[in-house]
Chains A and B, each alone.
Chain A
């Protein structure tokens, strides 16, 4: 087991390295340049001065090597836009996304697991179809559209909830974090819950197919209930491990929702950094998010192996 983990961590680090190289090259291929330099009012002399300040006139491999050196020593550079260390800014934004993702995840599980179980148990009947199709709907609506519609209904028309941001001093619903979380978390939940429903359903089906469950049917009511509970426990193993992956997906997939609701998270930061060509920030976000995904994968794999004794690692 230990050897497995070590190997995966090493491979993960190499993967992350490939990711950074890929991102660095792609990023520099984009036309235009850092917004601070590409400006209507700057003269050629000003542009030259700023390029020197940001060391942009050196060849790409040297710049990448310098960035890598810095990164390995714990610094991700200084953001052009924010003029603050990239890690500081990410450190401010990441928790905000984590809060949003966390709330959405909890809600998705609270609703998704029971629904998925219900669907599995009533397999083939209309209830199963209904649940599957209804949750499909959540997956099929563009999330920015859903967000805008919710804002129009709940903020503009009913004035029950605020339209944007994380906190405010006044306005619909009062200023606190709670009211501000409702709409964006709702959009994310509606988009991600179907995955949990579907996964729980098929996982339960897998387990329900097995012999010992069929035997339980023959045994009668009490036995059936005990075995359903047992089945559920087994079926949830992959679901539990999926939660980790889902959390990682939520964190990296929140850019659209954060943009609609002006949520100060890392997704919106990434979008902004890309349009401004804030190179250090783009790299920083890629590294941090990439590391989160890779680390989550490793943890999930380990967890999977620990929870399910049928899995053998070589």
Chain B
């Protein structure tokens, strides 16, 4: 991975309803070991890595993915994620929806103070949503998640009402997904909130468990415990974020002791860490899947037979073993096994079978001709495949390209710099095939990725559209009944596997590495940071 790749925009994070708990074993195990935390060092300092200078105001368009890993410590959202992945109280203590689902009432914490001493009230929540998020001219980050939200009003100093134009079961979860509440008393009257550098870059004021005490631009950010935090007191006194853009450097820093914790994206680096006795390695479950996207706005990839054939032509276990060094499992749908309640393993699975692939292509009118290539009516089956430079996307795509070339597809492979990739492929849809991944919280909703409505400017950049699938996904979004949801999403997974609206590849396994005296819950980084008070350092 090159130095330019770390500036990836948070393109893979969308929230979905998580009313039901997808209980993970790790939660209870960690709770047990937390009792051992009695011997922790209360004055400990740990150092974590961050890829670039963060922007503390997460709603700002310049808050890229590096800001995600520091913000939850400084700010509170209305809700946060519990160890089991479902929304838990944060600034909101409880919530409920009206009968018609169009109005939600949130009761807020009393006695919360901002880090500059001012009191927190419903005015801050109203200001954040009305003046920042819903203000279209500002173009706030992630504002597109709240298209169903029409307005937010206060009903007293500790109650807020969210008004929707359509029932939306996911609201509590979205309100905890990188949706910090901003202090009204600082931003009131500021014409352009995105240029308030004193807040965005130097002295953010939040209500979270840590506050910023020192910023050395380009080098580090120091956080110390917030003495007036309203939630459980964190056990670690100081957290320093060191700016280290590249993962291989982060690994070197971890081994030499400069860092205490990193998330390892590249599986080939894990082996060196496993060998080190002073480090603890944890495999962490994540709702994350990789896929090949075929542009279904035009022929030939709008033909389901072609998509299915191409899926049969990829040897996914081989890629997982060879490229991912075994850190992954085959995926046949967007819901990962970690969501045990919803995950359906009995869907169409497409084991590696080039013969079957060719048979399906023949059905679609493609036969092998000159040079071993596939032809239909004299024209070869070609595919323009631009790939963005990030992580191992290029290598994985090269492997898939070779499998497809083997059965006779002429693949025109092109590596694009990330910024160009987003602009050409995601925004302008100039591609026929590409590779990507989606990360989301532990929730089954996949509507924004596959609905006909999001094909033009939303996450459904592959342009897939199936009326039946739409109905099923929409029903899943709107219902709160657990048993109904399981049934609905079972059906959705079957439709998705059958239609191959994305060619599912694998669920990667994430690895966290930490110094052995630092104890971190064995959950994905977002949930872990939301539960920072559970982290501790033994003496």
Residues of A within 8 A of B (CB): 31-33, 35-47, 49-50, 52-53, 78, 80-84, 89, 92-93, 96, 148, 151-152, 155-156, 159, 161-172, 259-262, 264, 268-269, 271-272, 275-277
Contact = CB atoms under 8 A, between A and B. Distances in A.
Interface residues of B, number: 67
Nearest to A96: B218
A170 B61 contact: no
B137 interface: yes
Nearest to B272: A156
B420 A41 contact: no
Nearest to B202: A84
Contacts, number: 184
Nearest to B53: A82
A189 B496 CA distance: 58
B64 A35 contact: yes
Given A40-B459, A148-B248, A262-B244, A172 B258 contact: yes
A151 B144 CA distance: 43
A191 B256 CA distance: 26
B138 interface: yes
Nearest to A93: B218
B429 to A, nearest CB: 13
Contacts of A92: 217-218
Interface stretch (B192-200, B279-287, B333-341, B519-527): B192-200
**Among all A-B residue pairs, the 10 with the closest Cβ atoms:** A264-B218, A40-B11, A171-B258, A163-B252, A46-B139, A32-B419, A49-B139, A36-B61, A172-B256, A32-B423
B116 interface: no
8 contacts: A37-B61, A53-B139, A96-B218, A159-B257, A171-B258, A262-B246, A264-B219, A275-B418
B531 interface: no
Contacts of B144: 41-43, 46
Interface in B392-436: 417-420, 422-424, 426-427
Interface in B130-170: 136-145
Nearest to B55: A83
Contact of B219 (A42, A47, A165): A165
Contacts of B52: 272
Interface of B: 3-4, 7, 9-14, 45, 47, 52-53, 55, 60-62, 64, 136-145, 192, 194-195, 197, 200-201, 216-220, 240, 242-246, 248-249, 251-253, 255-259, 417-420, 422-424, 426-427, 457-459
A39 B422 contact: yes
Contacts of B12: 40
A260 B246 CA distance: 8
Contacts of B419: 31-33, 35, 38, 275-277
Contacts of A41: 9-11, 13-14, 141-142, 144-145, 459
A259 B245 contact: yes
B253 A81 contact: no
A73 B144 CA distance: 39
A120 to B, nearest CB: 40
A151 B256 CA distance: 10
B252 to A, nearest CB: 4
Contacts of B192: 53
Contact of B45 (A81, A152, A161, A169): A169
Given A46-B139, A264-B219, A275-B417, A31 B423 contact: yes
Contact of A164 (B142, B249, B418): B249
Given A43-B144, A168-B47, A162 B253 contact: yes
A156 B422 contact: no
Contact of B255 (A155, A169, A268, A271): A155
Given A83-B200, A276-B7, A165 B258 contact: yes
Contact of A259 (B3, B14, B220): B3
Contact of A168 (B136, B138, B242, B459): B242
B255 A156 contact: yes
A156 B251 CA distance: 9
Contacts of A43: 144, 457-458
B61 A165 contact: no
A179 to B, nearest CB: 11
Given A36-B61, A155-B255, 13 more contacts: A31-B424, A32-B417, A43-B457, A46-B61, A82-B197, A83-B201, A165-B243, A167-B216, A169-B47, A170-B47, A259-B246, A264-B219, A268-B245
Nearest to A275: B4
Contact of A170 (B55, B139, B257, B423): B257
Contact of A155 (B194, B252, B457): B252
Contacts of A82: 53, 62, 197, 201
Contacts of A152: 252
Given A262-B243, A275-B418, A38 B256 contact: no
Contacts of A148: 248
A225 to B, nearest CB: 49
A33 B426 CA distance: 13
